[in-house]
Amino acid sequence: MCGNNMSVPLLADAVTVSGAERETAAVIFLHGLGDTGHSWADALSSIRLPYVKYICPHAPRIPVTLNMKMVMPSWFDLMGLTPDAPEDEAGIKKAAENIKAIIEHEMKNGIPPNRIILGGFSQGGALSLYTALTCQHQLAGIVALSCWLPLHKAFPQAANNGVNKDIAILQCHGEMDPMIPLRFGALTAEKLKSVVTPTKVQFKTYPGVMHSSCPQEMMAVKEFIEKLLPRI
């Protein structure tokens, strides 16, 4: 895999916002159900740091049980959006391996894992949490927007030897979210505190915000990235 994107399926057509100067860090950001990497590439461009590379892959198009088996961009199948809904365990694990392949690719290109942040929104945020917590490399942090921890009953045991026990997590949630209720986000934050060092979990909520982002949230994301990925 000598720097060739073709060997990493998700990288071949991912939207990449390159740094304006030498890239010493990377943010891999995963979109939500039915979306593409373009919308988050645009959002991240507005808060970009010149030495950071932003990679926004597109999920494969698959039938989604939750949406009457309609085919749409989805990282894995979704059966429901409640803490006790059945989950697509095989699909989640396969998707996580595909994201880990992107991390490995960036490492081969000279960006160390402790200079990589994994993030996402909704289903993408869920996958970013699962992938980072089961990753064998020590990452810089996780940005988890309007989401949950998949296969939560498997944790903390599933956290790979505690490599990311001290990882910083920024979890944000709209208080009026009708899709993934705030309560689910709060339960996720509590669960995360049993997996990583509790003081490393920030849970920020935004009044009046539904299942979407807002300028205040994006500023929190920018500050989090700046703090964890300082210029070197």
| Positions marked catalytic | 122, 177, 211
The answer to whether 15 and 37 are in contact (CB under 8 A) is: yes
- Non-local (6+) Cβ contacts of 112 within 8 A are none
Q: Could you give phi then psi for residue 129, rounded to 5 degrees?
A: -65, -50
The 8-class DSSP code of residue 6 comes to G
Q: How many CB atoms lie within 10 A of CB 136?
A: 12
Q: What percentage of the chain's residues is helix, strand, coil (to nearest 5)?
A: 40, 20, 40
Contact 140, 194 (CB under 8 A): no
The Cα 199–Cα 217 span in angstroms is 20
